[in-house]
């Protein structure tokens, strides 16, 4: 489990035309979720408004954000604190839609907007956090960023459970709730703690869930070998989607014949009966005499790539929206897309002057872009794009170009990803190119931090096929992937 904290200072938010928030809000702190579904997020916030401002002003500040209930208001001249229930509608705001894509990642109470800026803290599985942070990275470069792993020993320090929840667990322990057999019933425990049954049950479940999740996360690498599962090869073939059977069978037979590694994309039935899009990377195995032994390889879950593709589209929509025309973070950036099927390449208007090209005379294409590349970087860039297409992975690379307008060498960073069809075949490459020739300080530190996180954000599951015993051995990571 990872926790990432991102901070945008007031000056940066002002340049992003979000300074209107400071006119109405002194401080707003996230307290907790009320509801999360595919359409909206309802949260509770603690809020202090500026003089002559109030909850009604929030309804007109940001698209998709509204006050749906006032839970508490200032009750004397000595306090100015409000507690409000806010609704964030995904249909009206792409940023909210991005947050909803990371359903297993949660905003933390340390998230706060005040007169100094906005601090956003999110915790969850690395793959979910990657989606949200990549989106924010494309939209608005932060001033500060930190990332850390959450370990079981740090449950109190990192506030994974509240003091009240810890108090309930301690009371339950002292009362004999965790003895075997239990010394009392839930109704007796609730009376002992002077709390309702539902409150006690909820607090105990929250603490137990967090502790088990952190424990398994901390020792998962030690459980892979002991957690391997063996099942019959016939069962694997029976779980393939009927439309994909011939394609997979042909690839396996071809690999067995020529001994070359192969990659296949197909749909595999999960334990719950639904299908998941899987890409397997396989290497045939032989003994010294050339006898075929089976296959070893890795499974890759492509459902995360599809979600990431949607997030990239949303992020670029924001970067190109009327609200972002003059943002500092895109003043040296421009979006682009490449239709892999038709071969057509499209640039946003901002990209032409950055690359030193005349928009009326220059036609974007793979070939014309290659001509702009510094000769020493051409092979690297084309190989990077080729690898990304083959593995359906995110793009993040730095290259140089020689601007035809003045011959100046400029350094660019390209961030993007691959969009696929339902079978996992690449259909489009999209991204944003940023001129980082003069990039310094916090921005470089931010990018370095992201680079350090990269290895933690991609999960694979291994497998081994034994041709003699006609069995398949899968790792615990693969088993988790196939649970759905």
CA–CA separation, 350 and 56 (whole Å) = 37
3-state helix, strand, coil in the chain (%, to 5): 40, 30, 30
- For the record, the structure tokens of 463 come out as 């497998």
Does residue 301 carry a pLDDT above 80?
A: no
The residue to which tokens 């084309």 are assigned: 382
| Distance from C-alpha of 176 to C-alpha of 189, rounded to nearest angstrom | 9
Which of the two residues, 187 and 153, has the higher pLDDT score? 187
Which residues have a Cβ under 8 Å from the Cβ of 353 and sit 6 or more positions away?
A: none
Closest to 6 in 3D by CA, of 172, 115, 102, 141:
141
Average pLDDT of the residues of the chain: 77
What is the rounded CA–CA span in Å between residue 160 and residue 379?
Answer: 47
CA 422 to centroid of chain Cα atoms = 20
pTM: 0.43
| Maximum alpha-carbon separation in the chain | 89
Taking only the tens place, the pLDDT of each residue in 378-407 is 999 998 888 888 767 777 788 999 999 999
Distance CA 251, CA 263 (A): 8
Asked if 134 and 105 touch (Cβ cutoff 8 Å), the reply is no
Confidence of residue 377 (pLDDT cuts 50, 70, 90): very high
Cα–Cα distance between 82 and 199 in angstroms, integer? Answer: 24
Residue identified by tokens 């990571």 is 477
- Reported confidence tier of residue 60, pLDDT bands at 50, 70, 90: confident
| Rounded Cα gap, residues 131 and 84, in angstroms | 28
Report the candidate in 302, 272, 267, 293 with the shortest Cα–Cα distance to residue 392: 302
DSSP E strands in 154-274: the ranges are 229-232, 262-269
* DSSP label of 158: T
Contact status, residue 101 vs residue 122, Cβ threshold 8 Å: no
- The more confident residue out of 455 and 206 is 206
């Amino acid at each position: 489990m990872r926790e990432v904290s991102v901070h945008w200072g007031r000056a940066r938010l002002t340049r992003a035309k979000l300074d209107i928030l400071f006119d109405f809000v002194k401080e707003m702190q996230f307290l907790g979720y009320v509801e999360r579904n595919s359409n909206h997020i309802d949260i509770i916030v603690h809020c202090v408004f500026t003089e002559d401002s109030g909850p009604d002003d929030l309804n007109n500040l940001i698209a998709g954000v509204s006050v749906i209930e006032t839970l508490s208001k200032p009750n004397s001249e000595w306090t100015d604190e409000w507690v409000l229930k806010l609704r964030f509608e995904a249909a009206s705001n792409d940023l909210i839609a991005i947050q909803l894509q990371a359903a297993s990642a949660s905003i933390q109470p340390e998230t706060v907007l005040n007169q100094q800026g906005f601090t956003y803290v999110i915790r969850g599985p690395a793959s979910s956090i990657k989606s949200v942070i990549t989106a924010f990275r494309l939209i608005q470069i932060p001033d500060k960023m930190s990332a850390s792993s959450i370990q079981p020993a740090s449950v109190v320090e990192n506030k994974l459970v509240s003091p009240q929840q810890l108090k309930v667990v301690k009371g339950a322990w002292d009362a004999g709730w965790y003895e075997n057999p239990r010394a009392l019933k839930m109704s007796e425990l609730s009376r002992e703690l002077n709390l309702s049954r539902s409150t006690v049950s909820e607090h105990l479940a929250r603490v137990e869930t967090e502790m088990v999740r952190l424990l398994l996360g901390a020792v998962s690498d030690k459980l892979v070998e002991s957690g391997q599962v063996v099942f019959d090869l016939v069962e694997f073939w029976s779980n393939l989607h009927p439309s994909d059977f011939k394609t997979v069978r042909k690839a396996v037979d071809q690999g067995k014949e020529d001994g070359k590694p192969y990659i296949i994309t197909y749909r595999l039935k999960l334990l719950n009966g639904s299908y998941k899009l899987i890409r397997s990377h396989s290497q045939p195995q032989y003994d010294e005499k050339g006898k075929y032994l089976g296959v070893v390889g890795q499974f890759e879950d492509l459902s995360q790539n599809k979600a990431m593709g949607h997030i990239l589209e949303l992020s670029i929509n924001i970067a190109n929206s009327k609200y972002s025309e003059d943002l500092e973070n895109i003043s040296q950036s421009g979006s682009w897309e490449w239709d892999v099927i038709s071969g057509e390449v499209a640039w946003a208007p901002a990209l032409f002057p950055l690359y030193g090209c005349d928009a009326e005379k220059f036609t974007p294409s793979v070939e014309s872009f290659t001509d702009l590349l510094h000769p020493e970087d051409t092979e690297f860039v084309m190989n990077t794009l080729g690898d990304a297409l083959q593995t359906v992975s995110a793009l993040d690379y730095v290259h140089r170009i020689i601007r035809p307008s003045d011959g100046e060498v400029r350094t660019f960073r390209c961030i993007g990803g691959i969009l696929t069809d339902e079978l996992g075949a690449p259909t489009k490459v999209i991204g944003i190119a940023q001129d980082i020739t003069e990039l310094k300080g916090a921005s470089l530190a931010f990018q370095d931090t992201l680079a350090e996180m990269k290895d933690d954000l991609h999960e694979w599951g291994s497998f081994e096929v034994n041709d003699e015993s006609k069995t398949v051995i899968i790792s615990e990571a693969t088993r988790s992937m196939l649970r759905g």
